[in-house]
Amino acid sequence: MTVDINEIKRAMAEADCLASPGDVDAALDRMAAAITAELADSNPLVYTVMNGGLIVAGRLIARLDFPLESAYLHASRYGHQLQGNSLLDWRVRPTQELKGRTVLVIDDILDEGHTLKAICQYLQEEGAARVLTAVLVHKDHDRKAEPNMRADFSGLDIPDRFLFGCGMDYKGYWRNAPGIYALKGY
């Protein structure tokens, strides 16, 4: 599939900025303070969910002034109607020993939350003592994997639109945008 780079550039030029780079920095600072208060003395294992969590994790972990072990995982969910345990297509499974560990999972967004929920269930089943989640964006809508689902640490509540920037992409592009943007008309 060929990408029209001019269309990609146009998407950014016409996008609505829903959170400026300054808003994002302030949110990351708040998240880091809350995570530090909760996890500084727990020797946490921090997993980044690829690909979306890469930008957020890089910016967030640098704000955490305590020892931690970091790694990544890559999983995607398949199927649209999931019941019970969600089925994951693991591209990279967790490789560190999880038994008895406190684990923090960092991702870019909590949209419906099926994948994040399934990842957390997997980590718990593998023996993690505690699994917490951190996302930069909590998308406001009522289609969550479970009622009132929220990450343990979240930075910004953003309206239910097609978002990109700070790890979220538009057709594979603009994960690197420093703010949060909504596609025009979506």
Q: How many domains does the chain have?
A: 1
143 within domain boundaries:
yes
Which residues are CB-contacts of 25 (< 8 A; sequence separation ≥ 6)? none
Render pLDDT for 28-58 as a digit per residue (tens, 0 to 9). 999 999 999 999 999 999 999 999 999 999 9
> Residues, the chain, total?
186
Weakly modelled stretches of the chain, pLDDT under 50:
79-86
- CATH number of the structural domain spanning residue 66: 3.40.50.2020
Using alpha carbons, select from 31, 44, 66 the residue that is nearest to residue 166.
31
**Predicted pLDDT of residue 33:** 98
**CA–CA separation, 151 vs 132, rounded Å?**
8
107 within domain boundaries:
yes
68 within domain boundaries:
yes
Check: pTM over 0.75? Answer yes or no.
Answer: yes
**Predicted pLDDT of residue 81:** 34
- How far is CA 118 from each of CA 66, 71, 81, 90, 102, rounded to the nearest angstrom? 28, 18, 13, 11, 17
**Predicted pLDDT of residue 77:** 67
In the chain, where do the E strands start and end?
16-19, 45-49, 69-77, 88-92, 102-110, 130-140, 153-159, 163-164, 180-182
User: Is 164 in contact with 181 (CB distance < 8 Å)?
Assistant: yes
172 within domain boundaries:
yes
**Predicted pLDDT of residue 89:** 84
- The whole domain housing 83 covers 17-182
**Predicted pLDDT of residue 175:** 96
11 within domain boundaries:
no
